[in-house]
Structure 1
Amino acid sequence: MSERIPVGAIAGAYGVRGELRVKSYCARPEDIETYSPLSSEDGTDSYTLAILRPIKNGFAARITSVATKEEADALKGTVLFAQRDQLPSLPDDEFYHADLIGLEVYDTGGALLGRVKTVQNHGADDLLEVQLAGTSATVFLPFTKAAVPTVDLTAGRIVADPPLGILPEDP
């Protein structure tokens, strides 16, 4: 498991004075500020984030090292990471998305279905995008207790019971 977890992303400049548009991935979006200092994906850059106010789809925020619109625009697309030990402990049935990506997915009979490529959320429950074994095709598996009864982070595997119609038919 990674020691750094993505908690948000910089969506670009907000105004002309170096303020940024920040999207939070946190369950309580405003908590992103409490995990500062945040870092870039490769860990080379560190950012102390201060939320100024909520805006549509995120927050207007300030990072001390950013003073101009051009500097803010240059950070567009930067994913912000927090150290795992800064984040709250999760109950046994909850997981950080970063911990699920890359896990192998098996059906209830033990057959390998594929590997988790991404975790998506479009307003309802989370969906696991599973790249099917031996192909480039992907399917979306609802991340519910019924469809995913077992997640074993230690073994690096998920046991899934996909609803009918999710997997392509066998030839």
Structure 2
Amino acid sequence: MSKTDRVCVGAIAGGFGVKGEVRLKSFCATPEDIAAYGPLYSEDGTRSFTVRLTRPVTGGLGARLSGIATKEEADALKGATLWADRDRLPHLPDDEFYHADLIGLPVQDTGGALIGTVRAVLDFGAGDILEVHVPGRKTTLMLPFTRAVVPTVDLTAGRIIADPPEELD
């Protein structure tokens, strides 16, 4: 199965308690939905886990993962990302996108000239920002992911059209 067939839905923030529970950070719109998309896989696909949520905890959700029985096993997973099969996830409306689908896409200006390539999708609390690698530029370009700045995302053609404000250049 290729990586594009899976979407990152969360990460393990570390062990919780002494009986192998983990603290999960969910990347789902409704955080508790992470348990419904199972089994979840490690990024390299070599491990799979069923997830049973146990309780809300500071900074995430408490959960039990199949095959994890001790604090040491849970602690060893800290920082690991959890991936769900794409076909288990809900179909998104036309104006919503999975971050994994945007990363790596070329970004063109409204005239068709290449600006750069999406390196990451970030959210600092005020809405999503596309981090764009621009060849020859020392820093990445940060584009607000709004309809005004990014009027077109065409996943079929594999491109993004952006109209960045002049002050971002």
Q: TM-score, normalised by structure 1?
A: 0.94
Q: Report how far residue 100 of structure 1 moved.
A: 0.2
1:127-169 C-alpha deviation (Å, 9 max, x unpaired): 00000123452011000111100011122110001123112xx
Percent identity among equivalent residues? Answer: 62
Match of residue 126 from structure 1? 128
Aligned match of 2:54 in 52, 55, 65? 52
Aligned match of 1:117 in 113, 116, 119? 119
- Aligned residue for 1:165, secondary structure, equals helix
Match of residue 167 from structure 2? 165
CA distance in 2, matches of 1:108, 1:75: 44
- Aligned residue for 1:70, secondary structure, equals helix
Q: 1:1-171 counterparts in 2 under 5 A?
A: 2-167=4-169
CA distance in 1, matches of 2:89, 2:158: 21
Q: TM-score, normalised by structure 2?
A: 0.95
1:70-129 C-alpha deviation (Å, 9 max, x unpaired): 100111111000001100001111100000000000111211110000000111210000
- Aligned residue for 2:122, secondary structure, equals strand
Where has structure 1 moved over 2 Å in runs of 4 or more?
A: 133-137
How much is the aligned-residue C-alpha RMSD, in angstroms?
Answer: 1.2
CA distance in 2, matches of 1:155, 1:48: 35
Contact 1:104 1:158 in 2 (8 A): yes
Contact 1:15 1:69 in 2 (8 A): yes
Structure 2 alignment gaps of length 5 or more:
none
Q: Report how far residue 26 of structure 1 moved.
A: 0.3
Contact 1:8 1:24 in 2 (8 A): yes
- Aligned residue for 1:22, secondary structure, equals strand
Q: Report how far residue 42 of structure 1 moved.
A: 1.1
Contact 1:112 1:133 in 2 (8 A): no
AA aligned to 1:79 is T
Give the count of matched residue pairs. Answer: 167
AA aligned to 1:125 is G
